[in-house]
Amino acid sequence: MAGILEGKVALITGAGSGIGRATSRIFAREGAKLVIADLVEAAGEQTLKLLQDLGAEAIFVKADVAQAADADRIVARAVAAYGRLDCAFNNAGIEGAAGVTHKCTEENWARVIAINLTGVWLCMKAEITQMLAQGGGGAIVNTSSDAGLLGVKGMPAYVASKHGVAGLTKAAAIEYGRSGIRVNAVCPGPIRTPMMGRLLQDRPGVEESFVRAEPLKRMGEPEEIGEAVAWLCSDRSSYVTGLPMPVDGGLIAT
């Protein structure tokens, strides 16, 4: 049976780890041709090998999403390799340093906003420009967070960046709906990835408090985000746009 992304050309950022890597594998299973990007060459090459082992057509681009030239280059490589771009998952992100609002340094603020928010916008700019030029619409999914829908203490830049991604997603959905470009976001709850490993390190009891708060009583796996992203990028979600979609074990409902 054909996959839900059969023949589509898809771009995924932050593909060297966690949610990006898991999503890349799901896209490959669903028949997409992939352009994966990450800051870290070794990690990106590792994901590329996993995809090739699955029999997928894929290329890796080492890129920093916070640099406009790099965002443009990822899209240019997609077009050079496959002739077009059908969908994109703007997922690269960092957690930044921990600390309440008045302790957040300007440096930490600027870095988190540059990667998590400006990086998503720069990638969207390049992707939308290409989708408009080629015609026929497209689907974009951005990674926000439950922290893009709710306040969370101790990470003000991260929370602001993820709220920004949710807002940018809605604004672009309104702007490009007429051109057939759908723009949605996933808002993951606590997902077992290297980033979450860093957040839990030396913080006994935090994992238990997540699990206690969640209706499903467990942390999520990166593949559970990837499945939602694949659906949002596929034609199966053809009437869905402008949605920051929680994928969080029901945490946001509590």
The residues binding ligand NAP (CB under 6 A) are 13-14, 16-20, 38-40, 43, 63-66, 91-94, 115, 119, 143, 145, 188, 190-191, 193-196
| Smallest distance, ligand NAP to C-beta of residue 133, A | 24
Which is catalytic among the residues 17, 24, 144, 234? 144
Output 143 or 184, the one with its CB closest to ligand NAP: 143
- d(CA 29, CA 42) in angstroms, rounded, equals 22
| Smallest distance, ligand NAP to C-beta of residue 117, A | 10
Handedness of CA 201, 207, 209, 210 (dihedral sign): positive
Output 131 or 165, the one with its CB closest to ligand NAP: 165
| Smallest distance, ligand NAP to C-beta of residue 108, A | 14
SS3 147: helix
In the residue annotation, 158 being an active-site residue is answered as yes
DSSP code, position 241:
-
Question: CB count, 10 Å around CB of 39?
Answer: 19
DSSP code, position 237:
G
Which is catalytic among the residues 17, 24, 145, 162? 162
- Residue 181: CB partners within 8 Å, gap ≥ 6? 128, 131, 132, 137, 138, 139, 140, 172
Output 145 or 169, the one with its CB closest to ligand NAP: 145
- Residue 113: CB partners within 8 Å, gap ≥ 6? 157, 160, 161, 164
Output 64 or 177, the one with its CB closest to ligand NAP: 64
Amino acid (1-letter code) at residue 187? C
Residue 186, CA atoms < 13 Å, CB-side half-sphere: 30
| Smallest distance, ligand NAP to C-beta of residue 97, A | 13
Output 22 or 173, the one with its CB closest to ligand NAP: 22
Q: Are 89 and 141 in contact (CB under 8 A)?
A: yes
- Strands of 33-38's sheet in order across: 58-62, 33-38, 9-13, 87-90, 138-143, 181-188, 244-247
| Smallest distance, ligand NAP to C-beta of residue 248, A | 8
Which is catalytic among the residues 17, 24, 82, 158? 158
Output 20 or 249, the one with its CB closest to ligand NAP: 20
| Smallest distance, ligand NAP to C-beta of residue 25, A | 13
- d(CA 177, CA 138) in angstroms, rounded, equals 10
Name the residues annotated as catalytic. 144, 158, 162
